[in-house]
Structure formats: C-alpha cells, structure tokens
Chains A and B, each alone.
Chain A
Amino acid sequence: MLVAESLRKSFHVSRPARQVLRGISLTVGHGEFVAVMGASGSGKSTLLHVLGGLERPDSGSVRIQGVDIYSLADGARSAFRRDHIGFVFQFFNLLPALTAAENVALPLRLRNESWLRPRSRRVAQSVIMERVTTLMDQLNLRGLQGHGPDEISGGEQQRIAIARALAAAPSLLLADEPTGNLDWNSGQEVLSMLARLCRAQAQTAVLVTHDAQVAAYADRVLVIRDGEIIDEIEMGRRDDPGKRPDHARLAARLAKLEL
C-alpha cells in the first residue's frame, strides 16, 4: 500500500544544514494503522509531510498504491492527494467560512470540479450529502451539519476534520498529532472513533504523535529519533480488533529506548 524508501530531507535554515530524515524506509500494508512516535524535533511531522506529498524529500521515494508520488507533476500530485490521501492536522484547520457539513464535503466537491475529471465520473450532490451524513453519524456529529467551526467544541472540530479526511474514501489517512490540541477525554474519544472507523473500513492510516497513550491505539508503532527509525513495536491489535490499547507494554518498551 505505502512504500517509502531511503527518505532523506535536510533544512537549510542554519549552518550546517539540519538533517531531519536520514534515510528512512518503511512499508505500511493495506488496512494497517501505524503510529510514528518520537520526541519533538525527531522528524516525525516531516516524515508525515513527505509521505503525504506535501514536502519533497532530498532523495528517496514514496509509492502509494504503486505510484511514485514525487515523479508526478505538481498538478497531478495535487489530484493524487485529493483522490488518495486524507489529512488530519493538530489544529483542526477547518475552513471557517464553511459549515461542518460543507467542510466534510469539501474533498468530494473539489474532486467533482476538477477539469480532468469526466462529467460521467462526477459524484451527484445527493450522493455527497449522503456520504457526509453517514460519516458525521459514524463520528457522532449528528445535528452539527449546519454549525460553523466557531460554534462547536475542539473535540467536535477534530472529528469533523477526520470526517473530512475520510470523505473521499482515501487510500491513506495521515494524521499529525490529532489529539495534540485536545483535552484528555476529548482526545481519547477522538482516537477511539478514529481507530474504530479505520478498522471497520480497512482504512490504511499513519499517525504521528509524541504521546505513548495515543500511539498505543495503533497496530504497529515506529519509533523515530534524529531522523531514523530506531524501533518497531507490534501492538497485536490487528488480529484482535476488540483488544484494548496496551499502554503498559508500550510504555515499558519505550522506557528501554529512553524515549
């Protein structure tokens, strides 16, 4: 599903240039929920941006469903991102001018209006609204369709962001500290819903976080330090979807890594 090979990335904001990714390779299978965990400045957000086609690596490649996304021109990469990748950000990033439902429907509408998309493949408005309603129901957002982002709580905003990321049924969901801006209860609620949805829909997802409590919801945890993956921890949830996150086991493993 997702194959990244030898990713290197440096930022030239100081001398010497700061190497953020030092030859990272990883593979994420179809329907797998992977967490990338590391301390601040370890390179995990940059890795997510590179995987999502937002930040071109200095070297290496990213293949999603067999397509090398950095071999695509900017326009084609935008289209690929729109059709195959969903993003969830730490700061929700809902468009303030749109209602909750319109925010969720945005990727489908963007897809519809693409010049490259044949009219016959465009999604009907009724289908879009049905998809929006379904997703909002699944994320427990019923009744908030007409509300603006400034009228709802942080947890609800982040669930709307997740719904938007999933609206176009992307091949890959990328989440950057999705609970970083939420209180503990809201964060747990958002994570459990995200994990449940991904499992139910066999959604491939990569999540980056510095929080072991969050990473524990994943099937597999990749630990990153100084731009390199230093460990890979199987959480054993893939074969047992009902299993609760084993925070203690993950914490013990991370302690060995002095993380």
Chain B
Amino acid sequence: MSGLWPLVWRAVGARPLRSALTSIAVALGIAVVLGVQITINGLDTQAAAAQQLRAGASGLDVRVDAGAGITPAQVLRLGGIQGVAQAAPLYEKRVAAAPAGSGLQGLTVTLVGLQDGTAGLRPVHVVAGRLPHPGSINEVAIDQALSQALATKRGTAIHIGDRIQMITASGPDQFVVVGTTAGTSAGPAFTRSAVFADNAAMLGTFRLGLRTPLVALRLFPSFNAADVAAQVHARLGSQVTTYDPTGGGLAPLADLRALLALVTMLSVVIGAGVTANSVALAVLERRRDIGLLRAAGASATQVFRMFAAEAALVCAFAVPVGVGVGVALGYFLGSQYSPPDLPFGGVSVSAWQVIAAIAAGVGAALLGGMVPAFAAARVPILDALRLHPQQGRQRVNTALLSPAVLCLVGATLCFISSASGLVALGVALFLLGVVLTLPVLMPLIGALVARAVSRFSPGAANAAAGLVRSRNRTSLTAAGLAVTVATAVAVGTLTASALSASDAWVSHLFVGDMVLSSPVTQRDTVMTAVRHDPDVISATPLRFFSEPVAGAVLGITTLEPTVYAGQGGLDVVTPDRSQALNSLENSPSFVVPQQLASASGWQVGTQLPVQTAKGTVYFTVTGIVSHSFPGGDGSETLVMANDLARTYFGAAASGFDDLVVTTDGATGNVQATAASYGMQGVQVDSISGAARDALQHSVGLLVALAVIAVGIAMLALVNTLVVNVRQRTRELALLRAVGMDRRQAFRLVVSESGLLALTTVLLGVGVGCVIALPMMRASSTATFTPVFVFPASVAVALVLTVVVSTLLAVLGPARRAANASVLDALRHE
C-alpha cells in the first residue's frame, strides 16, 4: 500500500468537506449506537437500583389480597421454608384518625406496621423527625401529605409532637406524631398515604380487624426467588401469589425499544450509505486516475485497496469523535429520560460497548465503502481513460423493477397482518421497494413538484428535466434521506396519534375544569364545604378502592352516573352513554373498561359475582368504555354508582378521594379552599398537558434519534449535490458560451438542488404516512387505539430544514460554478 498511500492521503485531504461530512456521518452512527446503549443501560441500572431500594431486604413477597390476608400460622410456615432467613409480615389496617381532642369524626387512613423501622422489610423514607421506637405503642409517623388533611382547623397542619387520635380495640386512643414520611416510599403493599406504627401497637391495641396482605421473605444469599416461590406454592397452595420485588419491574422505555433499535440501525445503515456515496463520488471523480493506474500496472486489487483505504481512513477519523459524541449523547439522553425522582447515575461505559459501537458504525461504513471500491476495481481501463466520458440521459434499470414490485407486494401482504413482527418486516420491505422504484418515482414527483412551485421558481421545469436526465444518481442521492424522513414522519404520526388518544382519554374522565385530589379519603362534609365555595359551580366526587370481583381483586371507581351521563363523561363503546350510565343507578352494576372486558370475555349483560358487605352479590355489566380511571397499580378500574357502592361496600366506599369541580374561572380561590383541607387542585388541562408531556418525553428519544438519522442522510445529500455542481461546471460553461448569464446559471444549479431536496422530503413525508398506518395498527391495544393524525409540525419542520440546509450547502459551489471563467471551464473539467 506504500505506493498508493500518498494518493489515499491526498485524496482525503483534497476533498476536506466531503471527508469531513463522511466522517461526521460515520461518527454519528457510532455515537447513536453507543449513546443508545449507554442510555438504556443507565436507565436499566437505575431502574434496577430503584427496584432494589423499593424491595429493601425482601427477596420474595407473598401476598393474599382477599379477607384478612395471610394467617399467623401461614407466616410461621413461610418462615420454615428452606432458604428463608426471615418472614416479615406486613400488618395493615384502615382506621379513623383525627387530631387529638378535635371532636371530629376523623378520616379513614391506612395504618401500616413497622418492624425494626421497616415495613415488610422495606425502608420507610423519613422526611422529618423519626420513626416510632421499636416496641412503642403510642408513637406514630405520618405521611407528609396527611399532615394537612388531618388538620384541626383549615390551614393548620399536624406537626411533629402533636397528638392524633385513632380508634383502637379499647376506643379512641391518642398517639404522638414523632415524624413525617414521604408518600409512597414503602413499595407495593401500600400505595396511598399512610400512618406508621410499630408492630407492638399493631398487634396490641390495633389487633382487631388487622390484615396481613403481605409477608416479605428475606432469603439466604445462595437461594433464588423462583426456587423459594415454588416451595411457597407447594406449602400454601395457589391462594397466595408470589412476587419477586427485585425483578419483574418494567424496563424503562420498554415499549419503545424495538423502535429504538430500528432507528439506531437506520442511523448506522445511513452512515454506511454516506460512506458508500462518498467513495462512489470519489470513484466518479477519479475515473481517469483509475484508468491510468491500471494502465501503469496497478492490479484491480490495488485499486480496490486504494479506495477501501480511503474509506478506512475517513472511518478512522470518525472513531474518536463518534465515541466522544456517543458518551455525551448517552449522558444527555440518560439524564433526560431518567425518572425525575431518581438521580441519574452518570455514564457507565464498558470497553465492549465502545467496541460494539465502533464495530457497528465502522463495520457498516466499511462495507458500504467496499461496494463502490469494488466497482472501481472493475472499471474498464480504456473507458476510465476517456477525457470526457459519455453522460447521456440515464435509463431506468429495469432489472430493479421486478424486485421492487416483489418488495411492495410482500409489504402489502405483511401489512394485512397486525402482528408487530410482520408489520416491521412489511415496513422494511416497503421502504426497500420505494428505494428501488425511486428512478421511476423521483422524476414523476419532481415534475409534479416543479409544476406546483413554477410560479415562484421559473427554473423549476428545467430543474425537473435535470432530475430525469440523471435519474439514477438522483435516486441514489435521495434514497437515504427519503427513508429517514419517512421514519421521522412515521414516528411523528405515531406520537401525534398517541397524544390525540391521550387527550381524548383525559377529557372523558373528568367532567369539569379542575380536579381536587386528596392524599386521604375525605369526608362528605368537605365536599359540601367545597360546593359552597362561591367560585365552584358544581362538584362531583370520585372514590377509589379495591374489592374481590369475579375471583380477583379489582380496582373500583365510584362516581355520580347522572352527572357523567349529562356532561359527556366516559367514552362509552357499547351501548349508548345514557343507557350505560343511567343503568348504574338502578341495580348493582359496573361499567367496565374495554381492555378488562376483552381479557375477561365480559360483555354487556354479563353477571359478575362480587364479595360485598351483604354477601355475594351478582353485579351486571351495563356498559363498556374505551378507558376508565387508572387504579393504584396502573390498571383500569371498574366504574359504579357511588350511592350503590355505599350500600354494598359500606365504609370502604364512603367519602371521596378526588373531586371533579367546574369553576367559574377563578381557580385560585378554589385551590386555596382545597389546600385548606390538604387537597391539591389541578386543572384538567394540566393533567392533559402532563399526560402529553410524559408521552412526548418518552417518544422524544425516538424523535431525537430519527432527526439524527435525517441529519446523517443530509450529509450524503450535501456531498452529492456539491459534487454534482462541481461536475457541471463544464456544462454551465458551455451554456454560458451560448448566451446564458451568470445569474441564470446560478439559478439553474440552485433550483435543481432545491427541487431534489423538496421532492425527496415530500416523498419521505408521503411514505412516512403510509408506513405509519400499519405501525399504528400494530401498536394498537385494547387500551391504546390511536387514530391517524398527520404530524403537520414535524412535516413542516422537516421540509423547511432539509430544503433550507440544502440551499445553504449548494450556494457556495453554485456561485463558484456560475462565476467560473468560461474558457478555463472548457479547458479543464
């Protein structure tokens, strides 16, 4: 290679812009692979650490939701299982609490037992003060959200050292508040705000009606949760459920990982395409060099190695940049997408991750570069030596049309299915089919676009003719950009559709403009007080609780059916809204969410056995809604009338948790009223906005990567356009020699470049919308049924960015080509 190294080195140096753009493309490919790896790994590690923190010392949870839960005898048997170091029961009880001496009836709160400062082996996060001492029977710690809700009078919170009274086995007893804790810090056993007392008090004064919904098992290090779980089921049967609290948590961005992989792969492939394009341009520019080298005795292998070495050299420059940008990207994305309540652990990069990213980015780029290098080695010597190779009108390569048609037919067949794997294959086939038909499509679309813009750009028709003349190179140039724009638009469409579905969900759940949310179940008197606020027009309560329904413990939401029927609440799928909601008032019945109905095989009229205070009662399904209120575990709840809920479930269904309020617009006063009862007022628009933000936050990563892929493809476009302009210098000189002025020559070049960019991006937008449809169907679930929404802002941003960037990139070369001396241009190439 020593003989050709100067050629390699100087060829790279002679085209610094192209070399730099290609290096950047490869570097971005490496960076995306590395950045996504770092982000996913960082978020996984963070999620695992958070999960471990929530699990505390528990290696396995054993749960019984119904009745009194796990019996003391069962706790003893659990403690005797091989591998179990400790069986820690979690005691829980619902009790009425009120400030000491207030004379108030009190609020119903969840009381949770502590053993050695932990609840079910989980640490409890203390915000201020301390937890009750072990063995203490008259100390409690309360959740900070409760301090306001339990206030003696409006506006005065419970402080450390104050006393509260709770109903015990011996009547109302007083307890000293020794600390405040953070909301839901203790894991899955209790998700709403709680009062913490030591187990000595739980098993003493609170022993009546005590439940043991969970026993946390601390395992010896050599035993795993699955083996112990098998023994638990062998001893206690199937009425208990086991759960590994350290695993099984949702992986961050789990739903998006397939798309993330797709977009990441796309970035690498487009990076390879940029390298292929760059080497192909080098081969095109240096055909005569190739001929001369071959005539001077260079073998085909030597020519191949020379161009391959150029690609390798450019890739080598990209490696350090790619790794650096990848680490920065990983840190940025990781910190952006980590949960707001957990600190991002920083960047952790393994050597293998870096090697994998380099191998993917550089490997793909080298493979891309090999193809034109191989073609260079096969250039006929005498053709290469011609001073001015014939550059006639390019013809459509008909050999490509058959596979293109096959790809498109295959894609159509895949799109008939809604299986995500087949749809993904269909999308890939469709994109490949479109790329293969670009030599036919690009001139047609270019002509249409030229006709549309001819009023503003008189040279557009000539520019369109240029696209036809060089249709193959035009297609090669456009392919990467069209595919990446299509992907970005498809992602944008999915996002817009999901946002629309989210908006519809929220707007149907809350029939008012504000939701007053309480950390604890509030008394009806508080609702009456809120309703008397002069700025409140109407208020309707929501209450959330869980009961055994049809053999499983399900979340239930109670509401006022007439209010929801009258104000258009809940998106009833079947039958009509008024019939479904009004029926709730007449007899024990539920409206059920579509997902649950589908999963359980329930239909309108299905009878569901429910354990109530009056024994087993059969509730009728009177309607199915697309979505209902989310329960504590995130799954959607059953909906029933609040007055019937009190009839059948008694105290468990009394009071309210949220109040949906319609105000006269003066929301500040209403919020102040809510705050005085420890409630927080949130506007429905804010809830909708928060849901949108959460969705956009997640999907934003995909959009960001898609934009990077578009950026990489833009580099190829700019590379090619600059070479096109340079190569047209002689043709422009000929045109100028026969009368074209500099301005016209400049306009011609800029129009062609602009038209190519506009045609490509519009094609990409169209293709993106087409592939979005099957992708939406594949991503549709019982709870998520997106409806197509055109991502106008994404499309406009892409069109403007691509066209403006392209025009800016070719302005300089176009000006130079138009201003070149006619004689010089005709003398040289």
Contact = CB atoms under 8 A, between A and B. Distances in A.
A115 to B, nearest CB: 8
- Among A52, A96, A97, the most chain B Cβ lie within 10 Å of the Cβ of A97
Given A107-B296, A109-B2, A111-B297, A97 B10 contact: yes
A81 B295 contact: yes
B302 interface: yes
Interface in A98-149: 98, 102, 106-115
A95 interface: yes
B385 A164 contact: no
Given A55-B382, A93-B385, A110-B302, A164 B296 contact: yes
A79 B299 CA distance: 7
Interface string B285-298: 00011011111111
Contact of A54 (B10, B289, B381): B381
Contact of A82 (B14, B291, B298, B387): B298
B11 A97 contact: yes
Given A102-B6, A113-B4, A79 B382 contact: no
A78 B294 contact: yes
Interface in A1-58: 49, 52, 54-55
Given A55-B382, A78-B298, A79-B299, A91 B3 contact: no
A41 B81 CA distance: 100
A28 to B, nearest CB: 19
A48 B594 CA distance: 83
B7 A97 contact: yes
Given A109-B3, A113-B1, A97 B296 contact: no
Contacts of B2: 109, 112-113
B281 interface: no
B490 to A, nearest CB: 44
A75 B301 CA distance: 8
Contacts of A232: none
A95 B381 contact: no
B7 A95 contact: yes
Contact of B297 (A55, A83, A94): A83
A191 interface: no
B759 to A, nearest CB: 35
Nearest to B297: A82
B300 interface: yes
A168 interface: yes
B3 A106 contact: yes
Interface in B1-55: 1-4, 6-7, 10-11, 14
Interface in B370-410: 381-382, 385, 387
Interface string B266-309: 00000000000000000000001101111111111110000000
Contacts of A106: 3, 293, 296
B297 A95 contact: no
A40 to B, nearest CB: 16
A93 B573 CA distance: 78
Interface string A47-91: 001001011000000000000000000110011011101010101
Given A54-B382, A164-B296, A112 B7 contact: no
Contact of B3 (A49, A55, A75, A112): A112
A106 B387 CA distance: 21
Contacts of A115: 301
A110 B296 contact: yes
B382 A49 contact: yes
Contacts of A111: 297
Given A97-B6, A109-B2, A113-B3, A74 B300 contact: yes
A78 B300 contact: yes
A110 B300 contact: no
Nearest to A81: B297
B93 to A, nearest CB: 85
Contacts of A52: 295
- Among A85, A91, A110, the most chain B Cβ lie within 10 Å of the Cβ of A110
A75 B297 contact: no
A110 B293 contact: yes
Nearest to A78: B299
Nearest to A49: B382
Contacts of A91: 387
- Among B4, B300, B381, the most chain A Cβ lie within 10 Å of the Cβ of B381
A55 B294 CA distance: 12
A109 B5 CA distance: 10
Contacts of B14: 97
B492 to A, nearest CB: 45
A87 B299 contact: no
Contacts of A96: 289
A113 B568 CA distance: 82
A151 to B, nearest CB: 14
Nearest to B305: A113
A95 B292 contact: yes
Contact of B292 (A79, A83, A93): A93
A85 B295 CA distance: 9
Nearest to B386: A91
Nearest to B294: A78
Interface in B453-480: none
A202 B29 CA distance: 58
Nearest to B295: A87
A82 B296 contact: yes
A173 to B, nearest CB: 13
A98 B300 contact: no
Contacts of B293: 95, 106, 110
Given A78-B300, A89-B385, A110-B302, A95 B3 contact: no
Nearest to A86: B296
Interface in A169-210: none
Given A49-B382, A106-B3, A113-B4, A75 B300 contact: yes
A102 B3 CA distance: 9
Contacts of A55: 382
A82 B301 CA distance: 14
B308 to A, nearest CB: 14
Nearest to B1: A113
Contacts of A107: 296-297
A110 B7 contact: no
A81 B295 CA distance: 7
Given A95-B7, A97-B7, A110 B288 contact: no
Nearest to B303: A78
B297 A110 contact: yes
A83 B382 CA distance: 19
A91 B6 CA distance: 22
A168 B3 contact: no
B289 A95 contact: yes
Contacts of B297: 78-79, 81-83, 85, 107, 110-111, 168
Interface string B510-522: 0000000000000
Contacts of B296: 81-82, 87, 106-107, 110, 164
A52 B294 CA distance: 12
A89 B299 CA distance: 19
Contacts of A78: 294, 297-300
- Among B11, B299, B302, B385, the most chain A Cβ lie within 10 Å of the Cβ of B299
A98 B10 contact: yes
The 6 closest A-B pairs by CB, nearest first: A82-B297, A109-B3, A97-B10, A78-B299, A93-B292, A113-B3
Given A54-B295, A97-B10, A106-B296, 15 more contacts: A81-B296, A91-B387, A93-B291, A94-B292, A95-B7, A95-B289, A97-B289, A98-B6, A106-B293, A107-B297, A109-B3, A111-B297, A113-B1, A113-B3, A114-B299
30 contacts: A75-B300, A78-B298, A81-B297, A82-B297, A82-B298, A85-B297, A87-B296, A91-B387, A93-B288, A93-B292, A93-B295, A95-B7, A95-B292, A97-B6, A97-B10, A97-B11, A98-B6, A102-B6, A106-B293, A107-B296, A108-B3, A109-B2, A109-B4, A110-B296, A110-B297, A111-B297, A112-B3, A113-B2, A164-B296, A168-B297
Interface of B: 1-4, 6-7, 10-11, 14, 288-289, 291-302, 381-382, 385, 387
